[in-house]
Amino acid sequence: MNEFELIARLTQDLPAHPSVKLGPGDDCALIDVGWPDRWLLFKTDAVVEGVHFTGETEPEKVGRKALGRCLSDIAAMAGTPTVALVTLGLPRDHDSHIIERIYNGIKSMALQHQVAIAGGETTTNPGGILISISLIGFASKTQCPLRSGGQPGDALFVTGELGGSLQGKHLDFIPRLEEARWLVSNFAVHAMMDISDGLAGDLRHILKASKTGAELLSEAIPISVEARRAATRPGTTKTPLNAALSDGEDFELLFSVSSHDAVRLLDAWKARFPGLRLSCIGKLTSEPGLRMRSRKSVEALAFDGYTHFA
Ligand SMILES: [Mg+2]
């Protein structure tokens, strides 16, 4: 059973509460706590030694990444983060100096985004260091894009450059909070999420929730320098494009707007965020499935980021 099948099984018949407007299946849960104009956003995420970092990783960066992943999901709903709880699972023989440095990383990320750390829990974990963070925030009820809001014909956009994150920015990414809030205050964003598992794989969640397909333009996919560099290593079969489509941990925004807004958005973006690339990478379609258009052909694209010739 893969991760998605397991999640589908676990989330059947979950206990409900009338305040929960959106449960599993988007970047954050949406809760109505009685504010007239705002949703409460609620998110949890964990990083684990041996999976997301190793003993060699700079501890401060591990802490920054642990909170940064949650912040990126708040950004995906164009939200503002407010309060976090931090749970640490530690091996019995842990080095307290390293744990302190990890915690300093969490604190510096929290300070940078005006997030309070309001508590947490420490427990023993024989398997290695585990950092689990729960984060709340808020978003405007009228400007909170879900994965389900995409419409056929929408232009699809992605921020930044994709692929090769494990060779580069996965420990240094900047959650796109400011950009996301700017987007929703200036444009009708239909669907939005952050990219954590690779563009092609994550796009599937928007397509499923929005009941659309998509066509990507191979030449428009913004490929990172790291992805290009990785492809030149001996023995690598992954092309830079494959890497941009399938590598995880980009933490960029993937979103759709009406195609009528596309040019105005690109111009306004360039003026507002001159240092961050924004790319129109294709469109949502009424025809289901994911396709890649190149100069020569249109091919079915698998969610692992590879074209499979039929
Ligand atoms: Mg996400």
Phi then psi dihedrals of residue 205, to 5 deg = -70, -40
Lowest mean pLDDT among 51-65, 159-173, 256-270: 159-173
Residue 270: which pLDDT band, with cuts at 50, 70 and 90?
Answer: very high
What are the start-end ranges of the H helices in the chain? 3-10, 59-76, 96-112, 177-186, 199-210, 225-231, 240-246, 262-272
Mean pLDDT value of segment 293-301 = 92
Distances (CA, A) of 117 to 47, 280, 289, 290: 17, 37, 42, 41
How many A from CA of 221 to the centre of ligand 1?
Answer: 20
How many A from CA of 237 to the centre of ligand 1?
Answer: 28
Write 56-61 long-range contacts (CB < 8 A, 24+).
Answer: 57/171, 58/171, 59/98, 59/99, 59/101, 59/102, 59/104, 59/105, 60/101, 60/102, 60/104, 60/105, 60/108, 61/105, 61/171, 61/172
Q: Which two tokens stand for residue 282?
A: 């294709």
CA-based end-to-end distance of the chain: 26
Q: Is the dihedral of CA 54, 55, 56, 58 positive or negative?
A: positive
Burial of residue 301 (CB within 10 Å: 0-12, 13-18, 19+) is buried
How many A from CA of 1 to the centre of ligand 1?
Answer: 22
Q: What is the DSSP string of 242-263?
A: HHHHH-----EEEEEE-GGGHH
How many A from CA of 27 to the centre of ligand 1?
Answer: 4
Lowest mean pLDDT among 7-21, 127-141, 185-199: 7-21
How many A from CA of 310 to the centre of ligand 1?
Answer: 31
How many A from CA of 53 to the centre of ligand 1?
Answer: 19
Residue % of the chain over a pLDDT of 90 = 81
Position 305 scores a pLDDT of 67
> What is the CA angle 245-71-285, rounded to 5?
40
How many A from CA of 59 to the centre of ligand 1?
Answer: 23
Amino acid at 217: L
Residue partners of 277: CB distance under 8 A and separation at least 6: 159, 160, 161, 222
Mean pLDDT value of segment 104-108 = 98
Distances (CA, A) of 220 to 249, 267, 279, 292: 20, 17, 7, 11
CB atoms near residue 300 (< 10 Å): 12
What is the spatial distance between Cα 66 and Cα 52, in angstroms, rounded to a whole number? 9
Answer whether 151's CB lies under 8 Å from 233's CB. Answer: no
Position 161 scores a pLDDT of 95
- Tell the residue number behind the tokens 């129109």, with chain if given: 280
How many A from CA of 300 to the centre of ligand 1?
Answer: 25
How many A from CA of 22 to the centre of ligand 1?
Answer: 14
Residues with a beta carbon under 5 angstroms from ion ligand 1:
27, 73, 194
What pTM, to 2 d.p., does this model score? 0.94
Lowest mean pLDDT among 83-87, 138-142, 195-199: 195-199
Residue partners of 62: CB distance under 8 A and separation at least 6: 47, 52, 53, 102, 105, 129, 131, 171
Answer whether 51's CB lies under 8 Å from 125's CB. Answer: no
Q: Which two tokens stand for residue 84?
A: 């976090």
Three-state DSSP class for residue 6: helix
Position 204 scores a pLDDT of 93
How many A from CA of 193 to the centre of ligand 1?
Answer: 6
Mean pLDDT value of segment 60-71 = 97
Position 235 scores a pLDDT of 85
